[in-house]
Amino acid sequence: MHRLACASIAFLACAPGAFAHEAAPPGETAALHAIGTAPSPARIEADIRKLVSFGTRHTLSDTTSPTRGIGAARRWIRDEFERISRDCGGCLEVRDVRGMISGEERIPDPTEVVSILAIQRGTADPDRYVIMSGDIDSRVSDVMDSTSDSPGANDNASGIAGTLEAARVLSKRRFPATIVYAALSGEEQGLYGGRMVAELARKEGWRIEAVLNNDMIGNIAGLNGVVDNTTARVFSEGTRFNETEREATVRRYTGGEVDSPSRNLARYIDAMARHVPNLDVMMVYRLDRFGRGGHHRPFNDAGYPAVRVMETNEHYDRQHQTLRTEAGRVYGDTIHGVDFAYAAKLTALNAVALAGMAGAPPPPAGVEIEGAVSADTTLSWQRPPPAQAPNLAGYKVYWRLTTEPTWTHSRYVGNVERHTLENVVIDNYFFGVAAVAKDGSESPVVFPGAAGSFGGY
Ligand SMILES: [Zn+2]
């Protein structure tokens, strides 16, 4: 959405005297503005060039060479996370997530798929996770070709470079919740790395608030001729993939088709773009591009809020193509197709969203709504255990017309567990509630019931 929508939210919430009887909402933190301009195009360029220098990063490529193949690439990423950690006094815990895959169409012979996580542990609520990810592996026209040069400069060295740069920026600060910087593997062969990390999260009981998967964040010139360096796309599913039949029935009568936690995560990122100069978000209300996939999906499959962040305009001659020139037309995902300043802006978009969520209290749990056949609408929710949210200031109730794409009305209601909106009829709006920190950071808005739940505390 464009700035106007954000401005109108602020206006409604801040209009002098409009809600004089309410507690004043905390002001928004200046730190987010600093984070929104911190990512460096030069560092992102250097990292993309380094990743391209490994020749190919195909999942089935060499793992022993020190200079070529997926093994060398992932060892370099691991070392880079360790270097970033040394710069923040060891604030990152670097962890490999390994699994053997075989007998699959795109991985027939036993192959170890290795993803690398750098974990910045939260100070108050370490089991709550916000995750930024990119993919290590690259491919050419033949998805089984593991030896040809496959630079994967935009797909997806850009996503890895952005993830490394976000780690450099955010590791200078401390947050109540845990931030994970994830370099995932095996994406092109069938989303294996994401599936393994989602499975690990489930086993270890991570409370995942958000996965921001970055897949191609550096191309500004579309195959259709459009050149645009001021917008980013965020794709999100409309309903939770793993809802039960009963939950779907409830949703049929009470709404929520466009208010999954992933969708409200997308709206959150859209609103946070105000901290990044000259960038707007185009939300796309679908899981991913038409018939195509990405590494946010295995997290959605497991029920976690997850979105795809990417460039607005794709150039298909530069994706999954064997390097070649045919009748004057150049194919291949080379460094020439990447705009580093643009990749830095999309990195900043991730960074402000991660900082906002990790700095805010957890999204409200147990959100319920009532008010049928009455003039008023009442929302209720549960507060987290105080130790999980030492910076909790209170809550903000949001609402919008049912046909509106983003939240248009809000009211700060203080540190309560229930609020009644008088003479706002439940039938005519969608409602939600967000938690607000003392510094003004907010959680995503939570739509009531199972349809919108970000999970418990
Ligand atoms: Zn790809």
Between the CA of 292 and the centroid of ligand 1 the distance, in Å, is 10
Q: Using pLDDT thresholds of 50, 70 and 90, give the confidence band for residue 231.
A: very high
Between the CA of 308 and the centroid of ligand 1 the distance, in Å, is 13
Between the CA of 142 and the centroid of ligand 1 the distance, in Å, is 12
Between the CA of 182 and the centroid of ligand 1 the distance, in Å, is 17
**pLDDT for residue 27:** 67
Mean pLDDT of the 365-387 span: 97
**pLDDT for residue 24:** 61
Mean pLDDT of the 280-299 span: 97
Q: Using pLDDT thresholds of 50, 70 and 90, give the confidence band for residue 29.
A: confident
Between the CA of 151 and the centroid of ligand 1 the distance, in Å, is 12
Between the CA of 383 and the centroid of ligand 1 the distance, in Å, is 41
Please give the Cα distance from 158 to 164 (Å, whole number): 10
pLDDT in tens, 422-441: 999 999 999 999 999 999 99
Between the CA of 112 and the centroid of ligand 1 the distance, in Å, is 19
pLDDT of 2 higher than 60: no
Q: Using pLDDT thresholds of 50, 70 and 90, give the confidence band for residue 23.
A: low
Task: Kindly report the average pLDDT of the chain as a whole number.
Answer: 94
**pLDDT for residue 230:** 98
Between the CA of 76 and the centroid of ligand 1 the distance, in Å, is 21
Between the CA of 199 and the centroid of ligand 1 the distance, in Å, is 22
Between the CA of 261 and the centroid of ligand 1 the distance, in Å, is 26
Residue 306 corresponds to which tokens in the numbers above? Answer: 């997850």
Beta carbons of 118 and 179 less than 8 angstroms apart? no
Between the CA of 140 and the centroid of ligand 1 the distance, in Å, is 9
Q: Using pLDDT thresholds of 50, 70 and 90, give the confidence band for residue 26.
A: confident
pLDDT in tens, 386-421: 999 999 999 999 999 999 999 999 999 999 999 999
